Structure 1
């Protein structure tokens, strides 16, 4: 946090910002709230908030300003920064050439930290102004069981017992919808922007399941009056470091306490299904379509699964940054082979996309040396990401009696990472919400790799497949005994 002697970025200090930084050219006082976004992190501020900023700059969508919403204890810091800076922040696009594009974003016009006054937030969501509730609550934030796909009610028992004082996004949003129903106010759109296949359908199932546990009639009303469009979002947005903060503040001439850095690439494919209107998204970057599924599959199974493919092998080979790992020819060949020989065959045709060019762009994006994305970030919560990004590729190929060496090796690399050391014996910090269960699995696998068949709760039914088990066992033993480099050579020799 800034000290009292520092000049902090806010509307009153914009005139002190140095030349070379793009500032909002629209009158923020004319922007009215229409979107309430849960989960204001780096990605949202580099993606949806940027697109809205572009629209406001064009003189469009002025009644679709963003109100950020935080519900987690860690969101208190964002609340404080947003208060100090009147929700302004700096976005820096880092090009591979080394050029840095600085821009102050003004599309988030207010921020609410729910625990401060949850009823006040619910009342705001009850008013007609709330027309879109958007979400970046992470892949694991939807409380779905990885095996059954069902919403886990055990995780929201406090909200079910105290619906007037909810703590989760499900409790808050459903209570607001309940009040809208009672007051004759129509529904709104719940728009997931998380990296999940059919994210809109998953969000719908989660919210309807929660609502049904409270009142079946309410669940029925929500199903009829609320829409849940699917979307595919893409932009690499690494964690903002202290070095980033210092350099950006130096460039600005004022202190930005929480800027955002990202790559130049951005994509948003969105199902055009909105209950209460929407911004003119099509005027800037967003591709509105009837069916997002082919785009979702392409992104999840190439980019997101590709991140998993390089994360664990990269860490085992003592790489730190993504661009370092993808300057390793062996890892690049492995990633390219995974995409070409296994993932691509599981995709549906995608209108307007040249898959070969798309895959080439992925590698170039990963190789951008200025983004400074870390492998450790990609490895966080692998127990959530592997089942959603990689396991579906394995399942599709097994159904068609096709080989799964490369896709299974991604799962194996994750389980080897659970050893907690790289191939040189250097410690690796494991960050995963299922740490305890993964630790038990790690011990079992070291004794007998076929114990992967006991990991159904983590990876789903695929672990019962005999071909998967035998493939997993062979790769696991190779990786444990001979290390990542020799294992990658061995895998690549099969293609």
Structure 2
């Protein structure tokens, strides 16, 4: 019989590692926006390990959110006393851990309660996992977008904020008025220079209504950059059923993830921080080399396997890696066009790092779907695929493999797999992408005209020529034959 997850049932659970620290004695030092799967498989696990070691119990998590889905999440978490089952999976084994580092979650939409929590002197870190697309960045310029409707609304009514950033500003205002030192703002999203991006968005919003306050934030608030890494698929009925079957735990929202995780952080926390270095977090003076490596090799690698696999009706990432063509396609691009452009990373062998990525992508236990990897290409391609193309072009080197990866994205957005199956909309801009993809079948330049994705790179003749040739080949010969031609040096 399954045990419903709660504080009252923890002592009787024998199928999972459970907290042995006194959860009632935890006090929150972190307000975290975006209590989704990645946060609960990453930051929350590190903190749970730290609390289990017997220290820093004043750094518990108080959850927060702004979306309707966050309100539903709060209901689920409250029903199980804010406990989460985290199932870490290697190819050979699975293990379950119940994490207990979140003590409560703020009512979604309650501005006064959220600002009061942010203003508490005990709140010394505000952290975020709000997805790569949640920072109000203009895709064409890569800079903060002051014209976004949500930003315009918060700037007009800073006393009634609706966005995460408007709430953070209100919290900082309240702290300054009360004479409390500002908290550190720690981005945990998978974006380049995530601390700098967060600073630009927060100060950009503040500047629209109070330039002096924006200057104060820029001068006094810390925004450490960080690199986060753990493959964490979405939760569905499959995951809930596995937790019931294999661990006899009834958890309405468990988290499944790989057994690997990494967190590299710049040590810039003037308000203090938990001793995360004691549980495996790397603190470094400059996170950029690690971030560059991870975004190019891992996230770029996901994009490389996603679209050919999607066109070939492959469902899971590990199934894509079991396909000799897709696996060879990934390795050739990584070894010839991505890894050679990366600067050295301290104490890291880039070749060995990619070998580990191959192993992680091949893990059959994760159940990471190709559809998830294909999601939101209009936001991910400019971050993961276009930059290495630009670097190769600047160095006068070829971009044949990366151009094919981009052409495969275009072909995917046409909305039909090689077998003729329909591809359901899989991007916030799906309609526009589909229209461009269909136009590009006759004129490949119609796709590269998306300056918000390609910028000046889309105008570079070597890339345009390579993209044009590959897209025409995809339509004339199909995905498998085109990838074979690339692998054969065609």
What is the CA-CA distance between 1:6 and the residue it aligns to? 8.7
Equivalent position SS for 1:485 = helix
What is the CA-CA distance between 1:254 and the residue it aligns to? 4.2
The answer on whether the counterparts of 1:8 and 1:84 sit within 8 Å (CA) in structure 2 is: no
What is the CA-CA distance between 1:312 and the residue it aligns to? 0.5
1:111 is matched with which residue? 105
User: Please, which of 258, 281, 285 is the counterpart of residue 286 of structure 1?
Assistant: 281
The answer on whether the counterparts of 2:70 and 2:108 sit within 8 Å (CA) in structure 1 is: no
The answer on whether the counterparts of 2:71 and 2:108 sit within 8 Å (CA) in structure 1 is: no
1:217-267 CA distances to partner (integer Å, 9 max, x unpaired)? 100111111111111111011111212112213444442110000110111
What is the CA-CA distance between 1:444 and the residue it aligns to? 2.2
1:221 is matched with which residue? 216
1:436 is matched with which residue? 431
User: Please, which of 134, 159, 166 is the counterpart of residue 164 of structure 1?
Assistant: 159
What is the CA-CA distance between 1:430 and the residue it aligns to? 2.7
Structure 1: 4+ residue segments shifted above 4 A? none
User: Please, which of 403, 416, 440 is the counterpart of residue 411 of structure 2?
Assistant: 416
CA distance in 2, matches of 1:243, 1:306: 26
CA distance in 2, matches of 1:21, 1:388: 38
Q: 1:91-490 alignment to 2 at 5 Å?
A: 91-97=86-92, 99-115=93-109, 117-155=110-148, 156-490=151-485
CA distance in 1, matches of 2:433, 2:170: 35
**What's the TM-score once normalised by structure 1's chain length?**
0.96
CA distance in 2, matches of 1:275, 1:403: 45
What is the CA-CA distance between 1:210 and the residue it aligns to? 0.6
CA distance in 2, matches of 1:66, 1:36: 6
What is the CA-CA distance between 1:211 and the residue it aligns to? 0.8
CA distance in 2, matches of 1:40, 1:101: 22
What is the CA-CA distance between 1:334 and the residue it aligns to? 0.8
1:13 is matched with which residue? 9
Instruction: Name structure 1 gaps, 5 residues minimum.
Output: none
Equivalent position SS for 1:67 = strand
1:27-82 CA distances to partner (integer Å, 9 max, x unpaired)? 01111101111111111100000000000000121111011112111112211111
Aligned length: 488
Equivalent position SS for 1:21 = coil
CA distance in 2, matches of 1:7, 1:210: 46
CA distance in 2, matches of 1:165, 1:252: 44
Instruction: Name structure 2 gaps, 5 residues minimum.
Output: none
**Please, what is the CA RMSD of the aligned residues?**
1.5
The answer on whether the counterparts of 2:129 and 2:188 sit within 8 Å (CA) in structure 1 is: yes
Equivalent position SS for 2:303 = helix
Equivalent position SS for 2:441 = helix
**What's the TM-score once normalised by structure 2's chain length?**
0.97
The answer on whether the counterparts of 1:16 and 1:254 sit within 8 Å (CA) in structure 2 is: no
The answer on whether the counterparts of 1:200 and 1:228 sit within 8 Å (CA) in structure 2 is: yes
What is the CA-CA distance between 1:317 and the residue it aligns to? 1.2
The answer on whether the counterparts of 1:452 and 1:469 sit within 8 Å (CA) in structure 2 is: no
Equivalent position SS for 1:22 = coil
